[in-house]
Amino acid sequence: MNADEIRRSSVLELAAALEQGAVTSVELVRTYQQAADRVDPQTGTYLRRFDEAARAAAGELDAERAAGRVRSAVHGVPLGVKDILATDEGPTTAQSLALDPAWGVAGDGPVVARLRTAGAIVLGKTTTMEFAIGFPDLRLHRLDDSPQEAAKPFPLPRNPWSLEHWPGGSSSGTATGVAAGLFPAGLGTDTAGSIRLPAGYCGVTGHKPTFGLVPKNGCVPLGFSYDHIGPLARSAADCAALLNVIAGPDPGDDTTVLRPVEDFTAGLDRGIAGLRIGVARSVTVDAGSASPGVAACFEAALDALSEAGAVLVPVEFPLWDELAESCFSGLFAEAFAWHRDLLARRWDDYGVDTRRGIAQGALISGGDYVQIQRLRSLGRRRVAELFGSVDLIATPTTGTTAVRYGGDPDRSARLRTLYTPPYNSLGLPAIALPMGLAESLPASLQLAGPAFADALVLQAGAAFQRVTDWHRAIPPVW
Amino acid sequence: MDNRSVPLPPCDVVTALLGVHGIVVPDDDVAAIAELYPGLRRRMERIHAVECGDGS
């Protein structure tokens, strides 16, 4: 395989090539590192690279393979890891000067450890927003008219489809790295859409698993009852392959559910003939919040699902706005609980927008927080009833394409068109799938399912990607 | 009297609610957080307006 073929390949395609001897893990690591040397200064994908450790691991994994031992489908496959997840190689910053450098020194969290045990190679830690919150602080990067802050040692992530645009967040670097061919897949986290939003903006695939399926310990928390760790990759099939490795309970996270881990790749070829997909237009494209370009891509995506055999059913999604609002309010309350002492000690070390955002959590009363939980409970019941009449629900992932850095008059309005937070309030599985280009930037389809129907969500995503090729599109920065 | 309609003194509220947690915040941050407060209350009032029943 040449370098371009490697960088365009999915995890499963690389696994097949490794199996056939068409490439080695050492060659993969070298190719991705050389690509990063050239591309990363533009995309701001990495906070830290582990070049030597990755080369050493690749050599050992090639030797194992030569000796006849292959650990899993990700044996010898390089990945990127969002820098709020602890890894053996180095410190976790959460892209903040406020986080204690001692956080995460115990090494790999369970999810990273599972990937490493399965033979994956960690190429480096990828950029995020500070503590996985909000929008980049443009005062740090001289992209705003506000008074400048002192420089902080974190790059500004940029979208490979247009360097003038935000790649979405907060799993920004993992999304840009997959989109720009710097690794075939990686890990992100999603509290209100932080896997699906950057996946959507960057034209890659991202899966937020069911809450409780993947352990969260070893991850700097944002909202403990809204946080999810999940994969970003080129395809739904790749997400399934990674989920096979990272799913399953861990004693360090008592929100994980004790249930057998299924093979999420087993049903990928089953297709979606006869599957009932609810189309939630009234809360998204018909609510006036989607751009014409995204709405057009969504209609084309629905046509593709229909051609693949799905039965499309209009649905009214109950409590959509309230579940979205309760996500943001609830996560700030939970974030404040974790950050309280750190805010008291290191207020000035936080970014301005981050500290002000988290401090909102102190303004939410006990009664407010309980009402949020009551609403979530009601929402879970009402949406479970909806899933009695449909198998999955389709919406765009966001109503607009990526936000432009600096002087975008529509920035606030665009950031309000996320269609992701209700699924964090509900804890339901949801996948973001590239569905075309609008204004020369990626648009994204979101498919969501009932609790623990991750395999079905991934199966539908794979079926969609057999009749479309948007997930294979290559951005201008490559 | 509907207590929900009583105007709140946002900066005092912010200072007090952070202060009870030992967090002392500069005035410009207090003012900025206070600006977030009305929107937060509106969101919370919409959430409180949902009748969740006895089972929730």
What pTM does this model have?
Answer: 0.96
Judge whether A172 counts as a catalytic residue. no
**Top mean-pLDDT range of A178-182, A288-292, A405-409:** A178-182
Half-sphere exposure of A337 (CA within 13 A, CB side): 14
Predicted confidence at residue A406, as pLDDT, reads 79
Query: Distance between CA atoms of A281 and A118, rounded to whole angstroms?
Result: 41
pLDDT at residue A346 tops 70: yes
pLDDT for residue A306: 98
Q: Is B31 on the interface with A (CB under 8 A)?
A: no
Q: Within the 436-475 window of chain A, which residues sit less than 8 Å (CB to CB) from chain B? A: none
Percent of chain A predicted with pLDDT > 70: 97
Give the separation between CA A294 and CA A290, rounded to whole angstroms.
6
pLDDT per residue as tens digits for the range B5-55: 545 668 898 999 999 999 999 999 999 999 888 889 999 999 999 999 987
Give the Å distances, CA to CA, from A475 to A36, A43, A161, A260.
15, 12, 5, 39
Is the pLDDT reported for residue A145 higher than 70? no
Is B47 close to A322, i.e. CB distance below 8 A? Answer: yes
Percent of chain A surpassing pLDDT 90: 90
Q: Which range among A81-85, A286-290, A404-408 shows the weakest confidence by mean pLDDT?
A: A404-408
Q: Which position among A10, A170, A289, A329 bears the catalytic label?
A: A170
pLDDT in tens, A305-332: 999 999 999 999 999 999 999 999 999 9
Q: Which residues pair with A311 in a beta bridge?
A: A276
Q: Which of B24, B25, B50 sits opposite A375 (nearest CB)?
A: B50
- The answer, yes or no, to whether residue A143 has pLDDT greater than 80, is no
Note the pLDDT of residue A154. 87
Half-sphere exposure of A413 (CA within 13 A, CB side): 8
Q: Does A347 touch chain B (CB under 8 A)?
A: yes
Which single residue is written with the structure tokens 């068109």?
A417
pLDDT digits over A42-54, tens only? 999 999 999 999 9
pLDDT of residue B1 exceeding 50: no
Exposure on the CB side of residue A287, measured as CA atoms within 13 A:
18
Mind telling me how many Å the CA of B2 is from chain A's nearest CA?
18
Confidence at A382, pLDDT banded by 50, 70, 90: very high
